[in-house]
Amino acid sequence: MISCLFSSKINLYIIYRVVIDNGVCSSATIVKVDSPRGHGILLEAVQILTDLNLSIKKAYISSDGRWNMDVFHVTDINGNKLNDQSVLSYIEQSIETVYYGEDIEVNGLTALELTGTDRIGLLSEMFAVLSDLNCDVVDAKLWTHNGRVASIIYLKDCTSGSPILDPHRISNIEGRLKNVLNGDNDVNSAAKACVSLDVVTHVERRLHQLMFEDRDYEKRSKRHERDPMVVVTVQNWAERGYSVVNVHCRDRTKLLFDVVCTLTDMEYAVFHATINTSSDQAHLEFYIRHKDGSPISSEAERQRVIQCLEAAVERRASEGVRLELRHPDKQGLLAEVTRTFRENGLNVTRTEISTSCDMATNIFYVTDANGNGADSKLIESVREKIGLEWLRVKEIPSVIHKKGDGEEEQQTKAVLVSLGSLVWKNLFSFGLIKSCS
């Protein structure tokens, strides 16, 4: 599927109260959010925290039907509390005036959305086409999962630096990329009809939506069958009218965003939740209902929720060696680099591309042609061809969990007392708050 996007609009929504506390907990910064209920408000708050690459170590979420009370224990990527006042102020101001249903500014760029069947060298072919058509890739994200690929690419004209608005040129770009996506003549890989949209949603949320629309969740990966990365259970609590969703998997940054994003886009409302992490593991428990207030009503629906949440967690899970390219931006750079990957048998499973101040910073996760870890000698050979000073092997950032000093439970009680809300009494009565240990 290919879509072209040119404009955006924003609907303002106010969240009433945010309190950031660095004194209650010794190992994390506490972010407390009190807001009126509304579909997607929880996702917006989580999105702000994860866009800053913060780690949500623990969270307690509750609603009394009209109001939300959410508490997040957050650290930076290194597991430290947040001490930069500018970051704390940004979090507070951003959540207090969150753009509900936020759409991202295109900022004078043309945006393309693509979905299709993944194959070796696909990214190289896409960038070669765009270079040939005099298109400069400014930013891009690409995910692969279960043999499918989804990508959002922001373009401008190489010569003028302006967005590409000529309908004939847009049609040519779409047609050429459709031919690339249909390269294996498999009907399942065919690019869907182009749809012009007026807005661009949050990029990573949109990638989840594209994968979901492409039904990537229907086929389980061989890796999942060998060693499940994520275990999801769903059962109904008839007495309270909730469906209870439990997710257990390896912890990583943006995990809570991926799960809440999927539940939100499937039109489920989260009424209560607890998120706990320890070592490198995460356990997430959600009490959900449909937007109309009903729980999950059939076995088929239950299985679909399980499949979709497994897929949501797996899409961002990084496979392969993480390579970072920092190079002065130039026309055709991405086409050259990805062609070198392809010619040396490296497959790109995920990529993040950005350009700032005429410097390209691009991250690639690469495997061998069979999806296994690439040989270190091959990686070094590719680095020599591209330039050792430009292409570097980078460690995958991991979530760091510092051992507590035995005061976690006392700290949590202090948080609850400071909140002084009837909502938290509901949490205790429902049995949703558990020990932090």
Residue 236 phi, psi (nearest 5): -95, 140
Rounded distance, CA 71 to CA 33, Å? 6
pTM: 0.85
Residue 22 phi, psi (nearest 5): -105, 5
**Structure confidence at residue 401 (pLDDT):** 64
**Structure confidence at residue 8 (pLDDT):** 38
Q: In what order do the strands lie in the sheet with 391-394?
A: 2-5, 110-117, 148-157, 135-145, 347-356, 359-367, 321-328, 391-394
Residue 216 phi, psi (nearest 5): -65, -20
**Structure confidence at residue 50 (pLDDT):** 94
**Structure confidence at residue 40 (pLDDT):** 87
Rounded distance, CA 395 to CA 387, Å? 19
**Confidence band for 196, pLDDT divided at 50, 70 and 90:** very low
Q: What is the mean pLDDT of residues 150-170?
A: 87
Lowest mean pLDDT, pick from 183-187, 198-202, 413-417: 413-417
Retrieve residue 159's tokens.
Answer: 């010569």
Rounded distance, CA 170 to CA 163, Å? 11
**Structure confidence at residue 175 (pLDDT):** 87
Rounded distance, CA 3 to CA 22, Å? 44
For residue range 341-382, list pLDDT tens digits in order: 999 999 999 999 999 888 999 999 999 988 888 899 999 999
Among residues 111, 120, 122, which one has the least CA distance to residue 177? 122
Lowest mean pLDDT, pick from 33-37, 52-56, 336-340: 33-37
Sequence-ordered list of residues with C-beta below 8 angstroms from that of 15, at least 6 positions apart, any chain? 33, 35, 41, 44, 45, 95, 96, 97, 98
Average pLDDT over the chain, rounded to an integer: 82
Distance between start and end Cα atoms, the chain: 46
For residue range 281-322, list pLDDT tens digits in order: 999 999 999 988 899 999 999 999 999 999 999 998 767 899
Rounded distance, CA 259 to CA 43, Å? 9
For residue range 38-77, list pLDDT tens digits in order: 888 899 999 999 999 999 999 999 987 788 899 999 999 8
- By residue count, the chain amounts to 437
Question: Going from the N-terminus, what domains does the chain have, and what CATH number goes with each?
Answer: 2-102+219-317+402-430 (no CATH), 110-198+319-394 (3.30.70.260)
Rounded distance, CA 64 to CA 83, Å? 33
* Residue 433 pLDDT > 50: no
Q: 3-state secondary structure string, the chain?
A: CEEEECCCCCCCCCCCEEEEECCCCCCCEEEEEEEECCCCHHHHHHHHHHHCCCEEEEEEEEECCCEEEEEEEEECCCCCCCCCHHHHHHHHHHHHCCCCCCECCCCCCEEEEEEEECCCCHHHHHHHHHHHCCEEEEEEEEEEECCEEEEEEEEEECCCCCCCCCHHHHHHHHHHHHHHHCCCCCHHHCCCCCCCECCCECHHHHHHHHHHHCCHHHCCCHHHHHCCCEEEEEEEECCCCEEEEEEEEECCCCHHHHHHHHHHHCCEEEEEEEEEEECCEEEEEEEEEECCCCCCCCHHHHHHHHHHHHHHHHHHCCCCEEEEEEEECCCCHHHHHHHHHHHCCCEEEEEEEEEECCEEEEEEEEECCCCCCCCHHHHHHHHHHHCCCCEEEECCCCCCCCCCCCCHHHHHHHHHHHHCCHHHHHHHHHCCCCCCC
* Residue 2 pLDDT > 50: yes
